[in-house]
Amino acid sequence: MAEETAGPAAAAPRSEPRHGLRLLVLWVLASAICCPLVYIVAGPHLPPGDMSTSASNQQFDFTVLATIATPVVLGVLIYFGYALTYWRAQEGDETDGPPIQGDTRIQLTWIAVTSAIVFALAIFGTIELWTVQGAGAGEGPQPIWTPNSSNVLVVQVIGQQWVWTYRYPQFGAFETTQLELPVGQPVQFDVTSLDVIHSFWAYQLGVKADANPGVNNIAYTTPTQLGPFVVRCSELCGLWHGAMYDYGKVVTVAAFQAWAHQTQTQLAALTATLPPYSLTYDPTEIATLGPVLVKLGLTGAGGGYYNPADPEQP
């Protein structure tokens, strides 16, 4: 169309550069540079870090996904930049572009590539979910993955409006608002709730498990680094949902043993008033506990049960 108005200079048709080849070379080069950068440089900084085995596994998954996504993003950006540079309409050119009638080669390539990516990711995701600690998430009462160790520390996580408490059944089942874990030992979180649906989220540990009343939801991890980690509720659970925020701590095995035995002794009187350790608790029973604790002078001693019927509690 443009040829009709072109002057004699265009008598020999202007040879169009091979845009497809140029785009392909640009894309392959950019991908070859950026994919290793994303995997090697950005990967170790992706959340949730590498403070536990489950966190490391999630970081690996995110790194793989980010590396696969890199050529896709580069493809879009490079095509976008190339089109803006070379296929820009000339000033005053009001004509339509040539109609696109379909291209079997591009269509087949598109279907093959996207199918391959989707199927590969489905297989990768299934393997990662199944084999790697249930990906650090709650696996329900019957986990399909269990740690290969006889030395598993069980910590019961109890969500309640609006605080997390923890029971340690291997240490007399004392209950506390402090979450301490030993480094290098597999931990089994038994997550439940006394009232509404909460979600236990130990961010740097890469553990996130729903806390549902009447359900024991099991999640595993093994802390691999010392230090504090953030615990949040990640399920909107009422007015003070945002206040269900605290820190846990990974300590040495010796420090954990000392803390656990000391706390067990300190809280012995309180533990005696608690409902017997169980995988779930009946909320209607819990409501009667507040007055007992007040009578014993034990509120705020680490039990932390909130009793709406008790005027002494906020």
C-beta of residue 199 within 8 angstroms of C-beta of residue 210: yes
Task: Please name the residue ranges forming H helices in the chain.
Answer: 2-5, 19-36, 53-86, 104-131, 253-266, 268-273, 283-286, 289-296
**What whole-number distance in Å separates Cα of residue 207 and Cα of residue 55?**
7
Applying CB under 5 A, does 194 fall inside the site for Cu ion? no
Amino acid identity at 135: A
Closer CB to Cu ion, 43 or 304, in the complex? 304
Closest distance between Cu ion and the C-beta of residue 233, in Å? 3
**Dihedral (Cα; 167, 170, 173, 176), 10-degree rounding:** -40
Closest distance between Cu ion and the C-beta of residue 195, in Å? 9
Q: Among 27-35, 92-100, 144-152, 243-251, which window interacts with Cu ion (CB under 5 A)?
A: 243-251
**What whole-number distance in Å separates Cα of residue 48 and Cα of residue 61?**
11
Closest distance between Cu ion and the C-beta of residue 197, in Å? 8
Q: Among 36-44, 49-57, 214-222, 226-234, which window interacts with Cu ion (CB under 5 A)?
A: 226-234
**What whole-number distance in Å separates Cα of residue 312 and Cα of residue 314?**
7
Radius of gyration for the alpha carbons in the chain, expressed in angstroms and rounded: 29
**What whole-number distance in Å separates Cα of residue 185 and Cα of residue 296?**
36
Q: Among 1-9, 32-40, 185-193, 230-238, which window interacts with Cu ion (CB under 5 A)?
A: 230-238
Applying CB under 5 A, does 233 fall inside the site for Cu ion? yes
Q: Tell me the backbone φ, ψ of residue 214, rounded to 5 degrees.
A: 80, 5
Q: Among 21-29, 238-246, 284-292, 306-314, which window interacts with Cu ion (CB under 5 A)?
A: 238-246
Pairing type for strands 207-211 and 227-233 reads unpaired
Closest distance between Cu ion and the C-beta of residue 292, in Å? 24
Closest distance between Cu ion and the C-beta of residue 158, in Å? 11
Using a 10 angstrom Cβ sphere, with 0-12 exposed, 13-18 middle and 19 or more buried, the burial of residue 118 is exposed
Applying CB under 5 A, does 202 fall inside the site for Cu ion? no
Q: Among 69-77, 106-114, 133-141, 232-240, which window interacts with Cu ion (CB under 5 A)?
A: 232-240
Applying CB under 5 A, does 198 fall inside the site for Cu ion? yes
Among 158, 209, 218, 237, binds Cu ion (CB under 5 A): 237
Closer CB to Cu ion, 125 or 213, in the complex? 213
Q: Among 67-75, 76-84, 187-195, 197-205, which window interacts with Cu ion (CB under 5 A)?
A: 197-205
Closer CB to Cu ion, 173 or 196, in the complex? 196
6-36 burial: b if 16+ Cβ within 10 Å, else e: eeeeeeeeeeeeeeeeebeebbeebbeebbe
**What whole-number distance in Å separates Cα of residue 138 and Cα of residue 207?**
8
Applying CB under 5 A, does 244 fall inside the site for Cu ion? yes
Applying CB under 5 A, does 163 fall inside the site for Cu ion? no
Closer CB to Cu ion, 198 or 208, in the complex? 198
Closer CB to Cu ion, 132 or 232, in the complex? 232
Closer CB to Cu ion, 167 or 198, in the complex? 198
Closer CB to Cu ion, 135 or 237, in the complex? 237
Closer CB to Cu ion, 74 or 286, in the complex? 286
Amino acid identity at 202: A
Q: Which residues bind Cu ion (CB under 5 A)?
A: 198, 233, 237, 244
